[in-house]
Amino acid sequence: MEHKLVDGKILYSDSTHLKANANKNKYTEETANVESQLYIEDLNKAVNEDRAKHGK
């Protein structure tokens, strides 16, 4: 950080070596009411806004 090589604004992590904290016998079943195409459109909009914000 002192040499401005990293700034700590973005964190990428790889959870390959983390054990999942999941119980196969205890879960909540829910139904999503959002269509995939609407989700993809919202995601693309957010990506394009971020690209424009960063001059890409």
- For the chain, how are helix, strand and coil distributed in percent, rounded to 5? 40, 0, 60
Distance in angstroms (rounded) separating the CA atoms of residues 25 and 15: 23
What pTM does this model have? Answer: 0.38
Q: What is the pLDDT of residues 17-27, one digit of tens each?
A: 767 777 778 87
E-only strand ranges, the chain: none
Contact 47, 54 (CB under 8 A): no
Q: pLDDT tens digits, residue range 18-54?
A: 677 777 788 788 887 767 778 888 889 999 999 999 9
Question: Helix or strand or coil: residue 31?
Answer: coil
Q: Which residue is listed with tokens 């829910």?
A: 30
